[in-house]
Structure 1
């Protein structure tokens, strides 16, 4: 293999960043550790990379402070590899790459808060059914850190692009983005049917990339009686490779719904969503099927 040229002395921060993560395996390792894959053998299985290459890339990422190495076994010594704060700061880069790929490689270049039913993006998201949601905490609109998965038989996570308490808070051109409008309607529909979800054994959580204070203003205005969770740091988005689009310079979640059981297994995926009120009914049906 040709010797890799170091860019560390280049007078450009992009070049210096690429010196750390410019190899495709390194970014894929960051992607998979964000998804909760932390051990060498599991990473090798996910990536299909040789042990030699994986060892080299893990060493590079640890030396660069992107990953930490934490022993989980003494004899022989084996390690978990986890994202450091420096590594987690790469999540917006990963999401931007995914968005670019969905929009320009797999798509037609149009900014959308949804996708076509038969798209590769839709297939990727629907393939989350049966997978496990990694353990993580998100700040809620009430200021508390919360597990997205509640201690009830099921949790409905409805992910929405953005909803604001005042009309002038929306980004310019919001209404012209296919699939972007309707977030307040969605939240209010879940509010109005919350008793049905509770009776069926489900907790409802709304998720967007908005700040907690923005979510709190919406919750107070609309009288929402369930938590809204902020994925502003894109931890959940990266962990599940959820689809995004960019508006006003911010990566925002496309509209989708996950029904997750107490063991963190995703039991149902609704994506794309074209009828908001119907999607709420479908989420309730999925919960009732699971608990019935």
Structure 2
């Protein structure tokens, strides 16, 4: 659990609505996304066993960007604690066969770069601000205050295909450990 950004005990738990059932086994589309280090990552050319954790929105301490009612949406709250969890487990994931870890949201790379730097993340964040991957994979979303956001899920990608899908994710601050346990129990 991430003690950096503790989550309230009364967050609503997301249900498995089946919106990610179609993803396992899918080939990654020929989509390139900008990363926070100013490179572009082609999702068909990922290192073997890449983990991409997908999250709705990272807040900023200097700006009020979280929509009203955010904490009432099951699975919405917890993006920063989730990122901190992957930061804490990054070396162990790499030691257990994960070639790379990426975070992904529909926020811009510039916006993500602030969180990347503030949280001292050892991996890059990918921006799907143009909804390319979201549309190609038909990723699950939710709407709040008229805006759409990605639901939290994690993809384990091997040899260009989605090997495993974690969905729904709760609690987000403990999710990186769940991924580590899975890759440890399922070596390539």
Of the three residues 117, 123, 126, the one matched with 1:220 is 117
| Equivalent residue, structure 1, for 2:25 | 130
| Equivalent residue, structure 2, for 1:63 | none
Structure with larger RCO (C-alpha < 8 A, sep 6+): 2
| Equivalent residue, structure 2, for 1:265 | 161
Give the aligned CA root-mean-square deviation in angstroms. 2.1
Within 5 Å, which residues of 2 pair with 1:150-189?
A: 151-166=46-61, 168-189=64-85
d(CA) in 2 for partners of 1:133, 1:114 = 29
Q: Could you tell me which runs of 5 or more consecutive residues in structure 1 were left unpaired when the two chains were aligned.
A: 1-112
Within 5 Å, which residues of 2 pair with 1:202-217?
A: 202=98, 203-217=100-114
Contact 1:126 1:270 in 2 (8 A): no
Query: What TM-score do you get using the length of structure 2 for normalisation?
Result: 0.83
Within 5 Å, which residues of 2 pair with 1:1-292?
A: 115-117=14-16, 119=17, 122=18, 124-148=19-43, 151-166=46-61, 168-202=64-98, 203-261=100-158, 263-291=159-187
Structure showing greater Rg: 1
After superposition, the C-alpha distances for 1:72-129 in whole angstroms (9 at most, x for unaligned) are xxxxxxxxxxxxxxxxxxxxxxxxxxxxxxxxxxxxxxxxx98522x3xx2x413311
Residues 134 and 142 of structure 1: CA distance in aligned 2, closer, same or farther (over 3 Å)? same
Residues 276 and 254 of structure 1: CA distance in aligned 2, closer, same or farther (over 3 Å)? same
Contact 1:114 1:255 in 2 (8 A): no
TM-superposed deviation, 1:178? 2.2
Contact 2:26 2:162 in 1 (8 A): yes
TM-superposed deviation, 1:248? 4.4
Query: What TM-score do you get using the length of structure 1 for normalisation?
Result: 0.55
- Structure with the larger strand share: 2
After superposition, the C-alpha distances for 1:118-165 in whole angstroms (9 at most, x for unaligned) are x3xx2x413311121112101112222112466432111100010123
After superposition, the C-alpha distances for 1:167-187 in whole angstroms (9 at most, x for unaligned) are 623223322322211000000
- Structure with the larger helix share: 1
d(CA) in 1 for partners of 2:174, 2:46 = 26
